[in-house]
Structure 1
């Protein structure tokens, strides 16, 4: 075989051809977002608050971005994934609790009696959550969540729950961090349930995850210290609870906030009320083909009052069907 030697100009051209797709990707933020009002609003906001000399410049220390989780960063249908975990935990733990065979709402869970389970209401839900989330150490609970995630799949897509995350939002998290933002999750979900996986999936470390919490106790058992999760709610991180926890944990008002439901309305209001340039966004679930379409009448992720305020205040409302090229990382193409 003859040796082929490329001159310097030809070599430079070859490298350009090979690297061009990567260069384009690096130059184009948010590749899974279609060109449109939402993407434009995000990019213009980030440029305005990060460009040296900009009248809207915000120091890196003040670049706080907060995100809801369920329905904002990953799917929440047909049921909150944390609740699906709790139901599976009831079945796993049932051999240790023979009384559950005759005790509601556990009997309904074990018999897959959806009507009776739904009729148990919030009281029944809290009994299930207490039985599967408390009177256990934090480390043991984290291990239970990770074990469940490793073997469980979504009932519709049959994909692991950690793949039911929104590719456009993963790109947004990365884009903000690349521009000096600190990204926090502020969710109604239980905080340790999320901390079991958010760093690996979102790049958000445990100390930047805020959620609903149970009271806890330090105990010294069998020669080892443990933090025990107690069956008493310490803070409900939903609705007005979100600004309260942001103020308590972060200590700075966000300049960027994203949600998807009425439970996020107060978090967006709190963000909007600060001085200077602000960004408030809602994910609007409009894609029944690739995900789900729901808003004002939904029992999961209801978006009604927050949608009205977003339209009135000209917050950014992302039309999932129209503005996202992909929904999930495993999607191969847009419809």
Structure 2
């Protein structure tokens, strides 16, 4: 995966975003970067203020047919169910029976609460190891590949391109921060301290060997979605971004917050329009719904990336891409 993170370097001088088709979306990105990095230019932004934030689910990697952390939680609950007879009742019953309607009805906070409860009493180190083990063996139901191979190659290139131009890149996601921090540096080149996400409560304790540990508790501390995203940015990053990318209504407030700052701003939305290479969904989807944010993007001139038209390649493992420009 590190090869994927840094693969764009070889052709960076001639084409910094090789998996992007030439068009309005790619031009908007490169023109913005050129303007804010031109020393002495009217839109110049010093490197210390070049903060770029990205949603994760549906923006940097696939999120269908269910959020990947939810797939992890489902597998974990099933594997632990025999030791927890109390899980035969709702809300865990929905997990165990794969009742998608009941799961959807829980909402994001409800799902986070279920996942937190399933992992309560586990140390943070043990949890990280369980995430790593799952990523090593679990496979996506459609693509039959490890979930962390379902990352968008054009966005990996974009992250590298921004960093090469003095930007500091952050993930700001509704996903669990401890779930993401296990793999984001290897996959995206984004270190753990630059990942902002939903979090559960932990408690400092002495382990069986007397060494201090952090225990995960069955309580959600912070939900980093919707209006929680600007709060998370303010709390954990401390700078208003000048560049933000999302894909759903859950990212709308992050994009609004970024747009509200002075000077040059870039707002981007990944629009899932490619059923052959990935998925097609927006306004009616229960996962990654894009409705109000899409309307606002059209009204305000934000950059909407049409996956089918704007991306030459979706995933790094592709060999020839249907829908790409010839």
- When normalised by structure 2's length, the TM-score is 0.91
- 1:318 has 2:305 as partner: yes
Q: Where does the alignment leave 5 or more consecutive residues of structure 2 unmatched?
A: 1-7
1:71/1:260 contact within 8 Å kept: yes
- 1:83 has 2:70 as partner: yes
1:87/1:128 contact within 8 Å kept: no
Partners in 2 of 1:241 and 1:140 — Cα distance? Answer: 28
Stretch of structure 1 that moved more, 87-96 or 184-193: 87-96
Structure 1 residues 137 and 285: alpha-carbon distance in aligned structure 2, compared to 1, 3 A threshold: same
How big is the shift at 1:167?
A: 0.4
Structure 1 residues 107 and 210: alpha-carbon distance in aligned structure 2, compared to 1, 3 A threshold: same
Partners in 1 of 2:105 and 2:257 — Cα distance? Answer: 35
CA-to-partner distance for each residue in 1:17-55, whole Å, 9 max, x for gaps?
xxxx98755321100000000000000000111122211
- 1:254 has 2:241 as partner: yes
Partners in 2 of 1:277 and 1:122 — Cα distance? Answer: 33
Residue of structure 1 in register with 2:193 after alignment: 207
CA-to-partner distance for each residue in 1:124-146, whole Å, 9 max, x for gaps?
63553133233321111111111
Structure 1 residues 167 and 96: alpha-carbon distance in aligned structure 2, compared to 1, 3 A threshold: same
Partners in 2 of 1:242 and 1:121 — Cα distance? Answer: 17
- 1:309 has 2:299 as partner: no
- 1:134 has 2:125 as partner: no
CA-to-partner distance for each residue in 1:191-225, whole Å, 9 max, x for gaps?
00000100010000000000001122111222010
- 1:180 has 2:180 as partner: no
| Aligned mate of 2:263, from 257, 261, 276 | 276
Partner-residue secondary structure (3-state), 1:27: coil
How big is the shift at 1:190?
A: 0.6
- When normalised by structure 1's length, the TM-score is 0.89
Structure 1 residues 213 and 113: alpha-carbon distance in aligned structure 2, compared to 1, 3 A threshold: closer
Partners in 2 of 1:234 and 1:218 — Cα distance? Answer: 15
| Aligned mate of 2:222, from 231, 235, 245 | 235
The structure with the larger Rg is 1
2:109/2:223 contact within 8 Å kept: no
How big is the shift at 1:332?
A: 1.2
Higher relative contact order (CA 8 A, sep 6+): 2
CA-to-partner distance for each residue in 1:116-170, whole Å, 9 max, x for gaps?
6556667863553133233321111111111100000100000100000000000
Would you identify which runs of 4 or more consecutive aligned residues in structure 1 move more than 6 Å?
119-124
1:13-162 alignment to 2 at 5 Å? 24-100=11-87, 102-114=88-100, 125-126=111-112, 128-162=114-148
Structure 1 residues 94 and 317: alpha-carbon distance in aligned structure 2, compared to 1, 3 A threshold: same
Partner-residue secondary structure (3-state), 1:265: helix
Residues matched between the structures, number:
314
Alignment RMSD: 1.9
- 1:194 has 2:174 as partner: no
Q: Where does the alignment leave 5 or more consecutive residues of structure 1 unmatched?
A: 1-20
Partners in 2 of 1:23 and 1:86 — Cα distance? Answer: 38
